[in-house]
Structure 1
Amino acid sequence: MGKVYYVSKNVGLGMLVLAVAALATIIALSIAYDKERAKNRGKPGDEATDSTSMPPPPTTPFIPKEPWDHYRLPDSLVPLSYNVTLWPRLEPDARGMFVFTGHSAVVFRCVKETDLIIIHSNKLNLTTFYGHHAKLTGLGKATVPTIQKSWLVVKTEYLVLQLHSRLAVGSLYLLYTEFLGELADDLQGFYRSEYIEDGVKKVVATSQMQATYARKTFPCFDEPAMKAVFNVIIIHDRATVALSNGRDIGSFEKYINSFLSNILLYILILCETGQGDYALSVTGPILQFYEHYYNATYPLSKSDQIALPDFNAGAMENWGLITYRETALLYDPMLSSTGNKERVTTVISHELAHMWFGNLVTLQWWNDLWLNEGFASYVEYLGADYAEPTWNIKDQIILSDVHKVFAVDALASSHPLSRREEEVNNPAEISEMFNTISYSKVRSSDRISYLNTFAFNNTVYTDLWDHLQKVSMHIPHTVHNIMNHWTLQMGFPVVTIDTRTGILPYPISLQYFSPDINSQMRVSGEDWVLANTNVSGYFRVNYDLYNWDRLLSLLSTNHQALSIINRAQIIDDTFNLARAKIISTTLALRTTKYLSKERDYIPWDSALRNLDYYILMFDRTEVYGALQAYLKKQIQPLFEHFKTITANWTKVPTKHTDQYNQINAVGYACGMGVEGCRELIKSWYRQWMENPHHNPIHPNLKSTVYCSAIAFGGVEEWDFAWRMFKNATLASEASRLRAAMSCTKAPWLLNRYLEYTLDPTKIRKQDATSTIQYVARNIVGMPLAWNFVRARWGYIFQQYGKGSFSFSNLINGITKRFSSEFELQELKKFKEENLHVGFGSATLALEQAIEKTTANIKWVTENKAHVLKWFTEESK
């Protein structure tokens, strides 16, 4: 018998059992990515799972008539507490299946008179009591109605109990259920993860409840507003260990811990020891920073963090026990790269931020997801900066969030930060909210009175405006009026400044050089004006042509007169203004001419991200030769610069961002044909192949070197990478190799690799869709991946698509190059032929893919000739 865990009132339980996981119900929001097990048990290649083999049935709109037809729970019952017992079986039964059994008793209050009990339940076999699926008991003096009938509703995932008479308002009742579920490997709810230790397969039972999978573990009121008290019992073998949100008094192996004030910190791993040391070293400082920043103490007595072999999210902020992908928590100082280290720091910082925003205070409904994810995505930079102050990581907000969200928010198929509740109902619509808009469009917040007022409770976005108003007494408009423009509208403003008239559209931050600038900000001669200093505002800036010319002249002669961030923003603004036909394409391209003199990472990365669009649009056309020659000319000085400062690649650049820019220099130099680069790459990889126990490639450069060497090589290089992948003891190393194997130019190797994604013994389920995307990123692999997904859409959708918010990346990744009328028609045909299958959380992504492809066709038609001429002239 396991231990009893108690989680304080109004705290949701998002829990895990290591070697025997527990459960989570009230979902704290995060980067969690969900999957659902396929109902069809056929093989992936069977015709029965092939979406193209089944004609779409006629569709009729579904009109909800009964309370159980709606995806939202009725507001008549409120849960107060749960007593849940779970018994996972870590050995297969006679049928070869892993299962779990359990029972639950939920105490709830009736707040509106009703003769129905509607509670979530999905994929659970429920024991029948006296012909019904549950037992109902009255508490105190409550009279218990008898159950007339009970049934399960598959579509809306409910257990429904029809009562003979009504429940009394204010009375308390207890609903008891017994259940059996599959401990599947589908990465949802209460699920099974496996790994190999010393040649022996080990089984872990763990959980992922976000966003709608607590109901797959036990019958519950599975909505974020339904906070409750949880008492949990886990039945498990004495040789195994159970962990949960609450403080554990037992002992376990393979952990490292320390104390922060009165908080016990644990890092738990299932692999090589020592890989959790770095995570532990930054957890304490980040927690301390947040206690000060939020002016609210950490509300629990412990903070566990665990790396899981199979986990479809980046991480999940279960209160008191955060779960991670191994790549997001584990770091080896000898084998991991600077990027791996930064990822560990920022993901930990993001998840710990949720201990307050998301857990202590939780959104009322998923339409306001940005309240959790947006703030966590912003303050993760602050926490990481406190833990690693030499990195200057806050400057990277412009690349990781601002530019990324601008690209999505410019689409007609974007959406406002806050949507109407009725627009977000079923699991797929909920999962669609976990996107760039929700994560990256929020960049500031007031946190003190808001957190203290709504601790252990739920909020809507207007509650935040009320508390911001308290500290903004002297602004001319109310916070509601100001912020509603931001949260209830999609898109962003473009501010146009004409330096000939000196008229500003409204007050904005300015930088200028002019000894005689007047009050109206007119400029002449060589004087220039730059708006949105350090990108302090969420808008793009356009100028009159004369000021653009002055800024470009400044970049050419003295680019360091502008900040690193503004150099990056000039590039990103011009390329996107050109895409919108506000300025010419050649004006945008001119911003890259100075790059041969640029040595800083952020401007270079901004340029390369924008030029990647040109590569995607033209790498199958005659434009590519001229484009490649131009980029070779621009990147070569950067390549030579890093060759010099690293003493012919024998040292590591000191500066954090220089280490990133070295990766850009080597990767693009090899791709564009800079002399000496390919030979260098091939020699490093060959040395490793000759001595697999000694890898001469620095961890920072491994991803680039592996990909390039496999692209330049053949089956021998690919097979070597596969062996190293299967034997890797560090998750980030395995991840690098998995991505690199998609770089081969041999179609048969790529097709074989795509088939591997259907076999979880070769590619873990958590990595299947991202591996397909990697193949699609390869110019040779793109049509292969597109055909692969189309042929198996029914199976892929059943496996990964019904509720996983990472599933949308699959559609986005495969269609990035689409820029012809033929590809657009194929995409539309794919949509029509699979309406009967559905697209789940990729529904919006599919609409965006059609919109982007249409825009790409128009842009290529209008710009191809100009772009070819410009690159040809500038590459001389």
Structure 2
Amino acid sequence: MPKTSILSKAIAAAFVVLTVSVIGGIITMIILYKTEISTMNPTPRPTRPIATTALPPVMRLPKNLIPLSYKVFLMPHLYTRIIEEVNVTSPNQTMDFVGNSTVSFQCVERTSTIYLKSMKLAVTNGKVKNDNTNEMIEVSAMKTHRDDTNFLEIQLKEALEAGGNYSLSLSFKGEISENLDGMYVSKYVEGVPEYEGDTNTERFLVATQLEPADARKVFPCFDEPDMKAEFHVTIIHRRDTTALGNAEKSGSSILDDEWKFTSFHSTPKMSTYLFAFTVSEFTATRSEHERVEINTYARPEAIAAGHAQYAATITGKILSFYESYFEINYDQKKLDQIALPDLAATAMENWGLVTYHEGALLYEEGVSSILNKEQIATTIAHELAHQWFGNLVTMKWWNDVWLNEGFATYMSFFAVDHVEPTFQLKELNILANLHTAFQMDALASSHPLSPPQEEVQKTSSIIQMFNSITYCKGAAVLRMLADVVGERVFIEGVKTYLSDFSYKNTDQNDLWRSIQKAEDKNGGHTNVKRFMDPWTKQIGYPVITINTTNGEVYQKHFLFNDSAESSLWWYVPIKVMSNTTKPSLVWLESSAPEKKDEFQSKNGEWILANINCTGYYRVNYNPENWDRLLNQLEIDPHRFPPMNRGQLIDNAFFMARAKLVEVTLALNSTRFLRQELDFLPWQLTVKNLEYFVLMFDRSEVYGPMQAYFREQIKGLYNSLRNYTDNSTIPKDHASQHSQILAVEVACSNELPECLEMATKMFAEWMNSNNTNPIHPNLRSVIYCQAVAAGGKKEWDFAWERYQSSSDTSEKEQLRVALSCTKKTWLLNRYLEYTLDPDKIRLMDVGSIISDIAWNPAGHALAWNFIRAHWDYVSEQDGDMLINAVTSRFSTQFELDELERFKTQYTLGPAANEVDQAIEKTQVNIQWVRENKDEILEWFERETAE
């Protein structure tokens, strides 16, 4: 509905639509707010009553009440800008919010107690009504539990009867968070002052981030994913702002000189973690779609400059692709996307209002890297897939969150390939996804895709589920299943799953049954549940060992720690080929060794298994077959599919880390790269050699290692040098990736011509009076290498540009580059800056510390820093920080420090990452001790030739 400036008509129209209780709620909140403002400073943090009653036996809400719908009224008092007036000692900003809600529910089991979830809210005025009789039920007590349950307990003088319909009304008050959770504040700088007295161009907005368990911080609710309901929402907000919600607007009217309200149509039946709203001064760019109104919101300055245009162009196409692919239309009439300056995650799939961090949605022509488009397309594709997987069909509990995230990751491969076929991202994303999952899942401290519900109860345990196992392994096992039953059968089963469970909650067994129906219907013989359960209910994955001399094959749980014992086994589909046979499928269905004709070499031929890496497992061979495969790589690597060229290297290095093959075999697998120009094999080589760099960049191994890398990269670097030296790029995306990789590897290993090029380009920029001569694609790597090779002058220049830039992608590239310096005092100063929110946004703190930790000059600084400031830095990215700062740990002293850290600090969601870091450090210590001399000898021999 369009805005109107005629106050009387607007209010009259709104009053016809709104009920008396709605008007009463709005007026009450405005009166309450104006009374508070006139008598006090901005509201202090609310206190909660102390619980005195016994808890239910578990952390979960009892299932005796089923929510049906909510009416929620929220009034955030935040100003979008601070106006400092003469003779006023404090600015006008306030961080409180008030609200009231009515939840309607059905009682399925007689009870005299109502349990909801509420956290950091002062809750009052509890009223319960029997909706069947319109009689009020008296509340005898209302208590908030100050423990991990977050229960709001409401005792009644009269029991609720099974089969009855009831409603609970509550008033509440809270504080807008500054920690990017619940209802939170985000700030940005916009343009120039618009009117006299506006002395500060800093702007503020309100947004929400509720996944997985923060809806309870915004309003009391049945905050569990299987307790779905419809939401009727009204937001009371400042007159000069726009409110967005999950559903389309049903009305908007001015209330007085300060306030207006916006009401929204009912949402679909959905989980509380998908509830969302924003209040801002943002404007929008419209997308094309035949049925859905799609708008992409961002800072007015960004919209006017066209930075949302690329996202707007592809969003409708991606939505249409999914609608056609699933044969189920997107459920709502509108889809809003909003680019937020601050967001803890990259993006969040709230139904109808998808939130993104600015860098994941905005693209500035001539400033953003062309490769940023890939990230934007992939992120939008992931979030829109969630509109079906997660929003329409939701897991019953967080132990099965992989049904959301694994599917969204997997489906994004196809959506991006459809809307941007020239990007050629499908294989790149699949291999990157697979490598990431393999890395974490090779640890005994990994976790199953679908652990038992009782192991995922506390909020900290739920948060730990959002990791590479859930996203990357989830996508990998879905791809494996699709390959076994066939893509056509798989998608037929997925369509059944989405259709049968729309607006409902599922566990993985519901998915298996849906795909089994399609498999049986099409004459297949795969027992889907029997095949898939070991992949989702067990940790890890197998290594398949093939002896091509006698055709014997067996499986074993792959672990970096060779002293760990495991009897796990899987049903393994093995696609195998040789240089004389086409690919065929062979099943390995036990832990005992078996003999298979397909795996026996004839006349010295090589045999290659797991064609196109469709299986979630690694493959090892007898030494003779390894020699033949590596020889083929050097003679004619294109005899293997590109994915398998990369995977052979990946397998060899992982086998060496697990001591299943000699470390020299892994190093030998890189020899062919001197002639390799394709990106995929290089990408996986660099990823694997990162481990060698981390283990040895503080030792005498590093010099010969760098010399070897310099020689290997010359072919790729020189093939693209004409482009690079002239600050231009190749046309195809794969070559653009190769160009960036070549510069990064060449410069970081001190290839003279690369360092000269990088420092020269950066110097030209410093002397160019704001004109940046570096191509956007190359800026991230040039900035980093030039800052690394330079000193204070280069660092200060990059810092000044970081502070003054309004472009998100440019700021991100400079933020990373600042951590590349080799001057420890500069790194230490940068670390200190992370403690000042005026210099570094909270959402960037973890990333900066991690980037510094990856730098050998900053590794020890970062480890000391996070221990000194753990309470502050762990608020957003504790898990990421642990991985980064412990990545080089390979001595007993470092292990002792890490174990001391575990016992002396409150780790919260980072506890599992600390356990994994301890395990990795133990493996590193043993691996370095056993392999260092041999690796040094190999590099010295190779570079002496």
TM-score (norm 2): 0.83
Give the deviation of 1:549 after TM superposition: 0.5
**Match 2:382 to one of 326, 350, 356:** 350
* CA–CA separation in structure 1 for the residues paired with 2:440 and 2:724: 41
How do residues 749-768 of structure 1 correspond to structure 2 at under 5 angstroms? 749-768=826-845
* CA–CA separation in structure 2 for the residues paired with 1:507 and 1:732: 42
**Match 2:662 to one of 567, 584, 597:** 584
Q: Verify: 1:614 aligned to 2:682, yes or no.
A: no
Q: 2:146: which partner in 1?
A: 154
Amino acid across the alignment from 1:572: D
Amino acid across the alignment from 1:279: A
Q: Deviations over 1:172-210 (max 9, x none)?
A: 222111111111221111111111112412111111111
Give the deviation of 1:69 after TM superposition: 6.7
Stretch deviating more after TM superposition (251-260 or 825-834): 251-260
* CA–CA separation in structure 2 for the residues paired with 1:213 and 1:483: 32
* CA–CA separation in structure 2 for the residues paired with 1:250 and 1:135: 27
Give the deviation of 1:762 after TM superposition: 0.7
Q: 1:286: which partner in 2?
A: 318
How do residues 835-846 of structure 1 correspond to structure 2 at under 5 angstroms? 838-846=906-914
For the Cα contact (< 8 Å) 1:370–1:417, is it kept in 2?
yes
Stretch deviating more after TM superposition (494-503 or 634-643): 494-503
SS at match of 1:265: strand
Q: 1:796: which partner in 2?
A: 873
SS at match of 1:115: strand
**Runs of at least 5 residues in structure 1 that lack an aligned partner in the other structure:** 6-37, 42-63, 801-805
Q: Verify: 1:527 aligned to 2:605, yes or no.
A: yes
Amino acid across the alignment from 1:841: P
Stretch deviating more after TM superposition (695-704 or 346-355): 695-704
Identify if the C-alpha distance between structure 1 residues 507 and 529 changes in structure 2 by more than 3 Å, giving closer, same or farther: same
**Match 1:479 to one of 525, 528, 536:** 528
Give the deviation of 1:647 after TM superposition: 7.4
* CA–CA separation in structure 1 for the residues paired with 2:582 and 2:654: 32
SS at match of 2:387: coil
Q: Verify: 1:87 aligned to 2:84, yes or no.
A: no
Identify if the C-alpha distance between structure 1 residues 741 and 290 changes in structure 2 by more than 3 Å, giving closer, same or farther: same
* CA–CA separation in structure 2 for the residues paired with 1:608 and 1:674: 16
Q: 2:891: which partner in 1?
A: 820
Give the deviation of 1:745 after TM superposition: 1.2
**Match 1:510 to one of 576, 584, 594:** 576
For the Cα contact (< 8 Å) 1:68–1:153, is it kept in 2?
no
Q: 1:275: which partner in 2?
A: 307
Identify if the C-alpha distance between structure 1 residues 616 and 466 changes in structure 2 by more than 3 Å, giving closer, same or farther: same
Give the deviation of 1:841 after TM superposition: 1.3
Q: 1:453: which partner in 2?
A: 500
SS at match of 1:659: helix
* CA–CA separation in structure 1 for the residues paired with 2:904 and 2:667: 40
Give the deviation of 1:165 after TM superposition: 3.3
Identity over the aligned pairs, expressed in percent?
43
SS at match of 2:337: strand
Q: Verify: 1:731 aligned to 2:815, yes or no.
A: no
Q: 2:743: which partner in 1?
A: 666
Q: Deviations over 1:260-308 (max 9, x none)?
A: 1111111111142301111011111111110111111111111111100
Q: 1:9: which partner in 2?
A: none
Q: Verify: 1:73 aligned to 2:50, yes or no.
A: no
**Match 2:720 to one of 600, 617, 642:** 642
Q: Verify: 1:124 aligned to 2:121, yes or no.
A: yes
For the Cα contact (< 8 Å) 1:4–1:233, is it kept in 2?
no
Amino acid across the alignment from 1:102: G
Q: 1:703: which partner in 2?
A: 780
* CA–CA separation in structure 2 for the residues paired with 1:250 and 1:703: 46
For the Cα contact (< 8 Å) 2:394–2:505, is it kept in 1?
yes
* CA–CA separation in structure 2 for the residues paired with 1:453 and 1:401: 29
Q: 2:277: which partner in 1?
A: none
For the Cα contact (< 8 Å) 2:367–2:776, is it kept in 1?
yes
Q: 1:376: which partner in 2?
A: 408
**Match 1:264 to one of 270, 278, 293:** 293
For the Cα contact (< 8 Å) 2:727–2:775, is it kept in 1?
no
For the Cα contact (< 8 Å) 1:85–1:104, is it kept in 2?
yes
Identify if the C-alpha distance between structure 1 residues 613 and 336 changes in structure 2 by more than 3 Å, giving closer, same or farther: same
Q: 2:925: which partner in 1?
A: 857
Q: 1:496: which partner in 2?
A: 545
* CA–CA separation in structure 1 for the residues paired with 2:14 and 2:699: 65
TM-score (norm 1): 0.89
**Match 1:164 to one of 138, 147, 157:** 157
Give the deviation of 1:807 after TM superposition: 3.2
Q: 2:240: which partner in 1?
A: 239
For the Cα contact (< 8 Å) 1:4–1:231, is it kept in 2?
no
Q: 1:557: which partner in 2?
A: 635
For the Cα contact (< 8 Å) 2:413–2:430, is it kept in 1?
no
Give the deviation of 1:402 after TM superposition: 0.6
Give the deviation of 1:234 after TM superposition: 0.9
For the Cα contact (< 8 Å) 1:503–1:520, is it kept in 2?
no
Stretch deviating more after TM superposition (747-756 or 649-658): 649-658
Q: Verify: 1:769 aligned to 2:846, yes or no.
A: yes
Identify if the C-alpha distance between structure 1 residues 520 and 380 changes in structure 2 by more than 3 Å, giving closer, same or farther: closer
Identify if the C-alpha distance between structure 1 residues 553 and 225 changes in structure 2 by more than 3 Å, giving closer, same or farther: same
Identify if the C-alpha distance between structure 1 residues 85 and 249 changes in structure 2 by more than 3 Å, giving closer, same or farther: closer
* CA–CA separation in structure 1 for the residues paired with 2:897 and 2:466: 27
Give the deviation of 1:420 after TM superposition: 0.6
Amino acid across the alignment from 1:846: V
* CA–CA separation in structure 2 for the residues paired with 1:169 and 1:150: 22
Q: Deviations over 1:428-456 (max 9, x none)?
A: 11100001111011333532111011111
Stretch deviating more after TM superposition (148-157 or 648-657): 648-657
Identify if the C-alpha distance between structure 1 residues 104 and 40 changes in structure 2 by more than 3 Å, giving closer, same or farther: closer
Q: 2:106: which partner in 1?
A: 109
Q: 1:222: which partner in 2?
A: 223
SS at match of 1:386: helix
SS at match of 1:243: strand
Give the deviation of 1:164 after TM superposition: 2.5
* CA–CA separation in structure 1 for the residues paired with 2:323 and 2:145: 44
Give the deviation of 1:77 after TM superposition: 1.1
Q: 1:98: which partner in 2?
A: 95
Identify if the C-alpha distance between structure 1 residues 624 and 40 changes in structure 2 by more than 3 Å, giving closer, same or farther: farther
Give the deviation of 1:795 after TM superposition: 3.2
Q: Verify: 1:832 aligned to 2:903, yes or no.
A: yes
Q: Deviations over 1:752-785 (max 9, x none)?
A: 1111111111111111111110111110111101
SS at match of 1:242: strand
Higher RCO, Cα 8 Å, sep 6+ = 1
* CA–CA separation in structure 2 for the residues paired with 1:787 and 1:176: 50
* CA–CA separation in structure 2 for the residues paired with 1:599 and 1:546: 27
Q: Verify: 1:308 aligned to 2:340, yes or no.
A: yes
Number of equivalences? 807
How do residues 356-371 of structure 1 correspond to structure 2 at under 5 angstroms? 356-371=388-403
Amino acid across the alignment from 1:292: S
* CA–CA separation in structure 1 for the residues paired with 2:843 and 2:353: 20
Q: Deviations over 1:550-576 (max 9, x none)?
A: 111111111111111110000000111
Identify if the C-alpha distance between structure 1 residues 492 and 330 changes in structure 2 by more than 3 Å, giving closer, same or farther: same
For the Cα contact (< 8 Å) 1:77–1:111, is it kept in 2?
yes
Q: 1:17: which partner in 2?
A: none
Q: Deviations over 1:444-472 (max 9, x none)?
A: 35321110111111111111111111011
SS at match of 1:236: strand
Amino acid across the alignment from 1:76: N
Amino acid across the alignment from 1:195: Y
Give the deviation of 1:142 after TM superposition: 6.9
